[in-house]
Structure 1
Amino acid sequence: MSLSPVEGVVLAETTPVGEDPTGSDREFVGRSPGQLAWARLKRDRTAMISGAVLVFLMIVAIAAPLIARLYGVGPNDQFQDRLDGNSMPLGYVGGITGDHWFGLEPRLGRDIFIRMVYGMRTSLFIAFAAALITSAIGVVLGILAGFLGGVVDAVIGWITDVALALPFLIFALAVVPTVALRFYGPRDEVPAAFQVAVLIGVFAAFGWTSTARLVRGQVISLREREFVEAARASGAGLGHMLFRQLLPNIWAPILVSFSLAVPSYVTGEAALSFLGIGILEPTADFGRMIFQSIPYLQTDPAYVFFPGITIFALVLAFNLFGDALRDALDPKSSR
C-alpha cells in the first residue's frame, strides 16, 4: 500500500531509530548548523592543512619556555665565540649547526630559532588579544546601533566614520612613542608588557569598526523577524533581546571576522616593530628581526629568510583557514 506524502513524514518522525517498516536500518538524524559547517570544513583539504599548520605553530608559541629548556638555549643568550672577526657567524648558511638549527644572528650571536619561537609567541599573543578586544567592542556597538537605531545608530555611525578617517599608521607613529615617554624617560628601558599593552590599545582603537558595521547590518536584517517580535511582545528586556535573541543568530560572520582579523594584526604588529615603534629590544619579535637582518641581506640571507618565511606561512595559513571557514559557514556554499 502506498503512503501519502503526509503519512510518509509522520512515519519518518515516529519510527524509532534503527527500526524501519520496510526492513532497512535507515536512520533519520537531524544536524545543527554548526554540525553542517563542521562537515563542510572537514571536506575542505585547504582548511584541514591550514588548520593543522596553525595548530602546530600555536602549540610551538605556547610551549616556547619548554622548547627553550629542551633546546638548551635562551632567547637572549649570546654566542660570541661562534662569530668571526667581522661579527659574522662561522660556518655555512649563517652558522647552522646541530646546536643552532637556524644559525646565529650577526653581531650579537643570538640563536635565530629560539628567538623566532619567542617572536611567534609575542605576535600571536598581541594579535589574539587585539582581535578579542576589537571583536567585543564591535559586537556591542554594532548590535546596539542596529537594534536601537535612531540617535544611538547615528552617534555610533559618526564615531565609526571618525575612526575610519584617521590614518592608522600616522596615528600609531605619533601616539606610541608619546605614551611611552609619558610613563618612562628617554633613557629608561620600557618593559615588554607595557609595549604589548600599548600596541593592543592602538589596534583596539581602530580595529573594531569593520566588526561593528558587519554586526549592525546583520542586526538590521533580523530585528523585524518573527522571533524578535515574539520576544518583544512577551516583554523581554533589552539585554535579553540583544544577547539571547539576536547574538546567537549572527555568530557565524563574527567568527569569520575574528579569524581574518588575527593575521592582519600579526602583520600590523610586525610592521610597527619594523618601523621601531612596536616591540623593542631585547624582546624577540618578527618585525625587529626582519629590520635587523636587512643590512645582512647579501652576506647572510638566512638571517632574513627564516623569520620572513615563518611569518609568511603564519599569515597565509590564517587567511586560507579564514576563507575556508567563511565558505563552510555559508549555507549557500557549494563546498
Structure 2
Amino acid sequence: MSLSPIEGVALAEIESGGDGDAPRSRGVVGRSPGQLALARLRRDRTARVSAALLVFFVVVALVAPLLSLVYGVGPGEDFKDKLDRFGMPLGYLGGISGEHWFGLEPGTGRDIFIRMVYGLRTSLLIALSAAVLSTALGVTLGVVAGYLGGWIDAVITWITDLVLAMPFLIIALALTPTLVLRFYGERDAVPEAFGVAMLIGIFAVFGWTSTARLVRGQVIALREREFVEAARASGAGLGHMLFRQLLPNIWAPILVAFSLAVPQFITSEAALAFIGVGLSEQTPSFGRMIFRSLRYLETDPAYVFFPGVTIFLLVLAFNLFGDALRDALDPKSSR
C-alpha cells in the first residue's frame, strides 16, 4: 500500500525516534544567502585563484614600507653610478641583479622593483577609496530617487544624465591643473597626498552614476512588495525604510558593482598618469613608469615588461573575481 507524502514524513520521524533535529543530525542545515554565495565561490577555481592573487597584491601594498626596509632601497633613491654614459643600466636585462631584482630605471637609476611596490600601493589606495566614496554616493542617491520618486527622482535622474554626458578625460585634463594652481604656485612642489586626494575626489564625482542607476532600478522593483508595505503601514520612518528594509535586499548587486568599479579606477589612474595628469613625477605610478619605458622598448624591454605585466594581472584578477562574485550571488546561476 502506497503512503501519501505527509504519511511518509510522519513514518520517517517515527523511525528516527521522533527527534526534531533529525535533519540537522543528517547534515541537512539551512544556510543563508551569504553562506550559499561563499560556498559557490569556494567551488569556483577562478574565484579562488583571483582572490589569492588579490590578497597577495593587497598584502604587498600594505607592507610596502617594511619591504623597502628589508630590501634596503627607498622609492626615491637613485643609483646613477650604476648607469653608463648614455644613462642605461649596467649589466644584463636592465641591470637585474641580486641587489636590484627588476633592474634600474634608465636615466634616473631608481630601483624598478621598489617603485612598483609603491606604485601598487598608490593604485590600490586611489581605486579602493574612490570605489568606496562613489558607491556610497551612488547608493544613497539611488535609494532616495527610487523610493521617493516624483520630482526628487526627476532631479537626481537629470543630474545623473548630466554627469554621464560630461567627457571624463577632457574634464580631468582641465580640472586637475586648475586645482593644482588654485592651491599651489607654478614653481611649488605639489605634495604626493594632494595628488592622490585630488584623483580620488575626481573619480568619486564621476564614478557614482552607474551605481545610482542600478540601485534606483532595484528599489523601484522592491518598493511595492508586501514587506515594504507592511513596514510603511506600521509607521516606519524614512531612514528605517531606506536603510533597514530596502538596502539589505539589494546588497548583492551593490557588492558586484563595487568589485567591478575598482579595476576601472585602477586603469583610469594609470591612463591619467600615462599622459602626465594627476600625480607628480616623484609619486610611484604604473602609468608613469609605462610612459617613461616606451622610449626604451628596444634597448631595455624589461623596464616596460614588469610594470605592464603587474598592472595587467591586477586588473585581470579584479575583473575575474567580480565576475565570479556576480555568478555566486545569482541564485539562478549554473556555476
TM range (shorter): over 0.9
- TM-score calculated relative to the size of structure 2: 0.95
Partner of 2:19: 15
Partner of 2:84: 84
SS in 2 for 1:333: coil
* Count of residues in Structure 1 that have an aligned counterpart in Structure 2: 331
Kindly provide the amino acid, as one letter, of the partner of residue 271 in structure 1.
A
Q: Does 1:255 align with 2:278?
A: no
Tell me how far 1:278 sits from its aligned partner: 1.7
Tell me how far 1:303 sits from its aligned partner: 0.6
User: Does the aligned pair in 2 maintain the 1:211–1:257 contact within 8 Å?
Assistant: yes
Partner of 1:65: 65
Tell me how far 1:281 sits from its aligned partner: 1.6
- TM-score calculated relative to the size of structure 1: 0.95
SS in 2 for 1:57: helix
Partner of 1:130: 130
Partner of 1:44: 44
User: Does the aligned pair in 2 maintain the 1:131–1:261 contact within 8 Å?
Assistant: yes
Q: Does 1:200 align with 2:200?
A: yes
User: Does the aligned pair in 2 maintain the 1:280–1:288 contact within 8 Å?
Assistant: no
Identity %: 72
Partner of 2:182: 182
Cα 1:91–1:232 change in 2 (3 A) is same
Partner of 1:173: 173
Tell me how far 1:7 sits from its aligned partner: 5.4
Q: Distance in 1 between matches of 2:256 and 2:46?
A: 16
Tell me how far 1:28 sits from its aligned partner: 3.0
Cα 1:71–1:4 change in 2 (3 A) is same
Cα 1:79–1:171 change in 2 (3 A) is same
Kindly provide the amino acid, as one letter, of the partner of residue 281 in structure 2.
E
Q: Distance in 1 between matches of 2:34 and 2:9?
A: 25
Kindly provide the amino acid, as one letter, of the partner of residue 130 in structure 2.
A
Q: Where does structure 1 differ by over 2 angstroms across 4 or more consecutive aligned residues?
A: 1-12, 14-17
Partner of 1:56: 56
Q: Distance in 2 between matches of 1:58 and 1:157?
A: 36
**1:304-328 per-position Cα deviation (integer Å, ceiling 9, x unaligned):** 1100100000000000000000000
Partner of 1:232: 232
Partner of 2:289: 289
Stretches of structure 2 that go unaligned for 5 or more consecutive residues are: none
Tell me how far 1:5 sits from its aligned partner: 2.9
Partner of 1:107: 107
SS in 1 for 2:208: helix
Partner of 2:305: 305
Kindly provide the amino acid, as one letter, of the partner of residue 197 in structure 1.
A
Tell me how far 1:27 sits from its aligned partner: 3.3
Kindly provide the amino acid, as one letter, of the partner of residue 164 in structure 2.
L
Tell me how far 1:25 sits from its aligned partner: 5.0
Q: Distance in 1 between matches of 2:78 and 2:187?
A: 24
Cα 1:25–1:254 change in 2 (3 A) is closer
Cα 1:241–1:97 change in 2 (3 A) is same
Q: Distance in 2 between matches of 1:239 and 1:263?
A: 32
Partner of 2:146: 146
Kindly provide the amino acid, as one letter, of the partner of residue 157 in structure 1.
T
Partner of 2:334: 334
**1:132-158 per-position Cα deviation (integer Å, ceiling 9, x unaligned):** 000000000000010000101000000
Stretches of structure 1 that go unaligned for 5 or more consecutive residues are: none
Q: Distance in 2 between matches of 1:103 and 1:37?
A: 43
Cα 1:8–1:203 change in 2 (3 A) is farther
